[in-house]
Structure 1
C-alpha cells in the first residue's frame, strides 16, 4: 500500500473507533495499533475488520487493538498525523514492542499449544453450528431404518423417499454447509466458500468418483475423482485457502473489478487445488484416522470403554474434550459410524442419572427444580446444566456419574457397540439402529449399557453422592469453547 492509502485507512480507523474525541491515547507494538478508548462501545468493530489493510480487531489489557501486520508503523504514523502527537506515548510504544517481541520468543512448546488450540478452535467452530443438524438428521435416518426394518414403511414408497431426502440432505451437502460455517469462523466469504463446496460435491463429480475415474494424469501420476459427501476436513482447508486468496487478490485487483473477478479467481483456484491435490490427500488421511480409531477401540474393547467412560467428563471440565469432537465428526463423516461416540454417549446418560437422584432425593425446592430440568437436558444430550449447575457443586454427585459411565463404557466396549449418528444420550437411541440392517446387536448393546449407566449412576448418587446436609462447593466456570475464541 502507498502512503496515501495509509492516510485513507487511518481516517477510516479513527472514524470507526468513535472519532478523535473518543481516543485517550494510542501506542503500537510489532503488529497492532493499541487504542485506549474512552468508550469502547462506540467503536464499530465490524466496519474496521472489513477494511483492506486490517487483519483483525482484538480487545485485551484494556486496549482496543487493531491488527495491521508489518505495516503497523506506517499506519500508526498516519493516525497520529490525523489526531495529533499529544495522543502518542513513545515510552509505552517501546514497552509494547518489547513485550510482543518477548511473546514471539516464547518456548516452542507454548507456540505449539497456541497453534493447536487455534487449530481445534477452527475445526470446532466450523462444526458447532452443524452438529445439532447432523444429530437431528441421524435420528431421522435411524427411525427410518427402524420403520423399514419392522416393515412399517416401504423402502420404495414416496413417504420413505421424501423422509430419506430430509435425513440425507445435511450429510450429502455437508461440504457446502461446512464451507459456509468455516468461512464464517475464519472471516472469509461464506457464499463463495459454499459455492466451492457445491463444486466438489457436484453430482457428476460424485458419479465419476463412484466409477473410479481420474480427473487427469501426468505420466504415472493420476489425480482421481473423490466423493466428498459427508466430508469435513477438505472443506475447512478450502475455506482457509479461499480466505487467504481473497485477501491477496483484493490487495492488487482494482476495486471496480473485485465484485466479479475476486470470486471468479478464488472459486477457480481453490476448487482446482482441492479437487486435484488437497481433497484426495486429506480424504485418505481422514479415512486412515477413522479406521485406526475404530480398530483400536475394537481391539482394546472393554479397556477403552472403561477408561473413556470413567474419565471423559473430567476432560469436559477442563475443556479438553474439544479435541475429541473432531475425531467423532471424522468418524461419522468418513465411515458412517463411530465406536468412540457410542462410549461417550454413556457419559451423558450417567451424569443425567446422577442429577436425577438429586432431583428425587432433595427436599430443597430450588435445587429440585434445577435438578429435574438438568436431568431432562442430559437425557436429551446436553449435560452442561447438570454438570455445572448441580453435579460439580456437589462433587460426590459428579463422581457418582463417573462411576456409572465407567460401567456403561465398559459394557459398550465389551459388546463392541457401534453408533451411526451424532445424537447422544437417551434421545439418541435411533443413532444405534444400523441403517443397513435395522435393529441389531449394537442397539441392544446400547440398551444394556444405558440401563447399567442409569442404575449405577442413580444408585451411587442417591445412596452416597448426595444429601441435603451437604454444602455446595464453589462454582466452577464452564471451560471455554475454542470455537468461540476471538
Structure 2
C-alpha cells in the first residue's frame, strides 16, 4: 500500500474489526505496530484483521492489542486517529482493564502497575529512538573523519557536526519529559520547562564544580548533570500532572494561568534537583553498572541466552521494556555491550528471511522474503518475522540459533557499541567516538557476517523448502457480536 486512500481504507477496516470506535480508549504506535487500549478485549476479530492486506500479525500483550503493520505505521496511525474522535495521544492514563480497580487481585494490581510503568517509559523513549540512532551514527562517522585527518577536531566543521550529534543527548531530559507528559495526558510544555531547568548551563556549571545545593548536618545535596538522563524526567512528568490537577481543584480560575505554572515549576524543579534526581541518577548508574558486572561475569553465556530468546520478546512486543535499558546505558556509560549483542539478533532474522527468498521459486514468497530481509538489515525485524520466519516456523528457529551464536561471539570478543541502532545499517555504531575505527569495529563486522551466514545457511539447508506451507490459523467459532461488527 502506497497511497493515502489505501491507508484510509485499512484504518477503517482495523477500527471496525477491533470493535469499533466505542471500544477504543487509546491508540498509540511504535516503530511497526499500532497499539490499542481497548475497553472490551474480547471484541476484536483477530483472524479477519490478519487477513487484511498490509497486516503482518496481531499480538496481545502488556494490556495492549497490537496490530503489526510495518514501517508505514506512522501514516496508518494518523489515518486511524483522524477517523476517531480522539486526539493523537488521547486516552486515560489508566486505560480500562478487564476488572475494575477495586475488584483486582494483588497480582493483577502488580501486573497492571508494571504494564503501566513500562508503557510510560516506552512512550517517553520510543518517539526519539530513531533520532538517538541517527545521532549515534553521526558520532561514529565524525570519529572516522577526525581519525583519518579529513577534518580537524578544533575546526569549524567539527564544531558543527559535533553539535548535530550531541544535541539530542544534551536535551534528552526535555525531549523525554515532553513525551512522558503526552503519554500521561499531562502538560508537555510545562514538563519540558522542568527539563530545561535541570540542564540549564548554570546548573551544569555548578555540577561540574562539585557545588552542593544545600547541606543538612553531614548530608550534602549536590548539583548533578542531568544531560543524558531519562528516569528523573519521567517521574517529573508524573509530578507535574498530579500537582497541576490538584492545584486546579482549589486555585481560582482567575489566577490559574499565572499561579499554577509558577507553583509547578518551583515545586517540581526543587524536588527533582534535591531529591528524586539524585536518587534516580544513582539508580540508573547502579542499573548500568550491574548489567556491566553481569556481562563481565560470563559475557559469552549471557549473550547466547539473551540473544537466543530476544526475538520472542519482539513477537510479544515486550522488547520495548528492554530498550530503555540500552538508552540508560548510553546515557550513563556512553556505550552498551547489551545493545551490541542484540544487534546480532536483527541480522539473524534478516539472514533467515533472505535464505527463504533465495531458495524459493514462488514469486510472492520471494518478494516478501527480500523485503523482510532488507527491512531487518535496516534495523526493523517485524516484516521478516511476521512475513516469513514465524509463518514457516523453521526459519525463526534457524534465526534464533544464529542469534545465540552471535551473542556468544559478541560476548567472547567483548564487542561494544556507541549507538542504539543495530544490524548492518548500524555498523558505524561500533566505531569508537574517541579512537575511531579499532579492533572492536572489525570484530563487529566479523560477528555480523558469521551470524548472517549461519542464519542464511541453516535456513537454506534445513529451514525452508517450497513444499512447506505458511502456518494457517485454525478457524474459530464465529462470535455473533463479531459477525455483526464485520457487516
Provide the C-alpha distance between the structure 1 equivalents of 2:22 and 2:395, rounded to a whole number of angstroms: 46
Distance 1:45 1:433, change over 3 A: closer
* Two-structure CA RMSD over aligned residues (Å): 2.3
1:465 to 463, 466, 477: 463
Instruction: Give the Å deviation of 1:190.
Output: 0.5
Indicate yes or no: 2:286 matched with 1:277: no
Provide the C-alpha distance between the structure 1 equivalents of 2:107 and 2:183, rounded to a whole number of angstroms: 25
Provide the C-alpha distance between the structure 1 equivalents of 2:41 and 2:309, rounded to a whole number of angstroms: 36
1:214–1:222 Cα contact (<8 Å) kept: yes
Give structure 2 stretches of 5+ with no counterpart: 1-18, 27-36, 44-97, 475-487
Match for residue 200 of structure 1? 198
Match for residue 373 of structure 1? 371
Q: Deviations over 1:91-127 (max 9, x none)?
A: xxxxxxxx966x6344322221111111111100111
Provide the C-alpha distance between the structure 2 equivalents of 1:475 and 1:324, rounded to a whole number of angstroms: 30
Distance 1:364 1:189, change over 3 A: same
Q: Which deviates more from structure 2 when the two are superposed, residues 316-325 or residues 293-302?
A: 316-325
State TM-score, norm by structure 1: 0.77
Provide the C-alpha distance between the structure 1 equivalents of 2:347 and 2:144, rounded to a whole number of angstroms: 22
Match for residue 351 of structure 2? 353
Q: How many residues align?
A: 392
Provide the C-alpha distance between the structure 2 equivalents of 1:145 and 1:204, rounded to a whole number of angstroms: 29
Distance 1:342 1:43, change over 3 A: closer
Match for residue 332 of structure 2? 334
1:393–1:475 Cα contact (<8 Å) kept: no
Q: Deviations over 1:381-423 (max 9, x none)?
A: 0111111111100100111111111111111000111111111
Provide the C-alpha distance between the structure 1 equivalents of 2:291 and 2:22, rounded to a whole number of angstroms: 50
Match for residue 439 of structure 1? 437
Tell me which stretches of 4 or more aligned residues in structure 1 moved more than 3 Å: 39-46, 57-63
State TM-score, norm by structure 2: 0.77
Counterparts of 1:172-211 in structure 2, within 5 Å, are 172-211=170-209
Instruction: Give the Å deviation of 1:153.
Output: 1.8
Distance 1:472 1:42, change over 3 A: closer
2:335–2:419 Cα contact (<8 Å) kept: yes
1:328–1:338 Cα contact (<8 Å) kept: yes
Instruction: Give the Å deviation of 1:58.
Output: 7.1
Select the structure of larger CA radius of gyration: 1
1:298–1:416 Cα contact (<8 Å) kept: no
Provide the C-alpha distance between the structure 2 equivalents of 1:105 and 1:45, rounded to a whole number of angstroms: 20
Provide the C-alpha distance between the structure 2 equivalents of 1:338 and 1:438, rounded to a whole number of angstroms: 17
Indicate yes or no: 2:253 matched with 1:255: yes
Match for residue 406 of structure 2? 408
1:355–1:371 Cα contact (<8 Å) kept: yes
Q: Deviations over 1:131-186 (max 9, x none)?
A: 11100110111111111112222111111111110110000010010111000000
2:25–2:38 Cα contact (<8 Å) kept: no
